[in-house]
Structure formats: structure tokens, C-alpha cells
Amino acid sequence: MSVNQVMVIGAGQMGAGIAQVFAQSGLKVKLNDMNEEALNKGITGIEKRLQRVVDKGKLTADEQAKANELLSGTTDLNDASDCDLVIEAVVENMDVKTKVFQSLDEITPAHAILASNTSSLPITEIAAVTKRPSQVIGMHFMNPVPVMKLVEIIRAIQTSDETYQVIEEMTKKLNKAPVEVNDLPGFAANRILMPMINEAIFAVHEGVASVEDVDTVMKLGMNHPMGPLTLADFIGLDTCLYIMEVLHDGFGDSKYRPCPLLRQYVKAGWLGKKSGRGFYSYE
């Protein structure tokens, strides 16, 4: 199956980034969001990022113009009726996602592949609400999407080999590195990353070391480009907590218990960079 027309649902940071890499790779892509203001913000952000890449000499003006031409915006989900691939990047909530997939199942052509950018929710459960479970798959892009090379491709137990192969080849066409992952809580990336972040928070909570010193240990001692607490602020502490809860619920293992300090920060509204305060202040 060839993929000629793509739709990305959700014009937030992840969705807009995904739409950008498709357009830069020469594919027609529709960016969809039911909120027109969010949609306009997403498209404006893509245009600004493309201009920065041109300014750095990594993209020509002609390539920029072509990418902008391939990108369009819509608030109407019915515009997915001619799409070969739809990637959902809405809020990390199973009820919201399953409703989107049920709608797409009715709207899109019978051959279309439906993918989710979820970072932790089970693809098997999402696939089960459709009449085409073999054509449902996970495409977990990393943030920021235009920069990060990895894409976790998550196979539900229903996902066909044909669907996987199409998405693997598509991922390579985007100049990304596909990694095949089975559908277990947290997949591979967050099953490894989030417990490390959670343990860093425990180290602060238990007085082992300060926020700054925990980050310094991991940067200078383990050669991480960014400390785990800085990274947590960048991801969003509410997102970190949510994924830890998915891991804890999914495996029933106490090693995935979210740190009480993480819960406290989220309750205080200290969510990281997006709220102006997390483990660091951004105001």
C-alpha cells in the first residue's frame, strides 16, 4: 500500500511536529484540530520552525515553500475521508482516543491505517473499538519531533505484518529510526525513562541530594545531555505522573509507585516549564 495523503489529529506540540516532518518529507498532510485557535497556532509554529531551519542553512527556500504547500489545516474530521494514514495525537486519555478512532473507522477509506502517537496507552485496546483492528498501530514519536530520530512502532496483538511493514517504511521515509515494540505498559522508552525520573524525584524527596545536584550527577557522571529533573519539567510533571500510574496499574509492581513529591507538585499546579514552575522556575 502506498501512502499519499496523511492526516494528523491534534495541533499541539506533538501533532504539529509530526505534521511538519511529513510535509518536509514530501507528503501531503492535513493537520486537524477541532479548536481553530489551536490549529492556527500549530500551523504558525510549523512555519516558524521551517524558517529557522532555512536560516540555519539546513533547508532551502524552495524546500520550505514545498513543505508549506503540502501542509493544510482543517477543523473537520470528515476531511480524513481521502487519507491513507491518520495519526492521532490528542490528549492522553483513553476515552477521548477511542472516540476519535471510532469516528475515523467510519470516515476513512477501508484501506487506511489508523495510528496513535500515545506514549503509554494500550494500542490493543484502541484497536478493539474499530472494525479494522489489524490496521491499527502505534507510532510514538519523541519530543521535539522534528529533531528526535526515534519512533517506537507499537504492535497491538491484532496488528498485521502488512500494516507494520507500511509504517516501518514510512518511518524511514521520514528520516526517522523505527524500533519495533510490543504493546506493554509504557512500551520501551517510557518503561525505562519514567522510573529513572521517578527515582531522581525520590532522591530529592528523601534528601539524598538537591535538584541541581541530582541533575549534575546524571549530566557529568552519566553523560546525559539533560538532567532527569530538567527533563521532567520539559515533559510536564502531570504527564510523568500519568505514565507512572499507567506503569503501576499495568504491572502491579511497587517499583513503579509514583513518588509522593511528584504527586504533591502536580496537585500544586507545578507542572514544569508549561506552568512556569516545576523543579525549576521558568517565570
Q: Which active-site residues does the annotation give?
A: 119, 140, 152, 190
Cβ(9)–Cβ(99) below 8 Å: no
> Residue 45 and residue 76: Cα distance in Å, rounded?
20
3-state secondary structure of 101: helix
- Which residue from 168, 178, 131 is spatially nearest to 1, judged by alpha carbons? 168
Going by the DSSP 8-state scheme, the letter that residue 164 receives in this structure is: H
Q: ∠ at Cα 36 (17, 149), nearest 5°? A: 5
Helix axis angle, 13-24 to 36-55, nearest 10°? 50
| Vertex 78 angle, CA 75 and 79, to 5° | 70
Q: In terms of DSSP H, where are the helices of 11-93?
A: 13-24, 36-55, 61-70
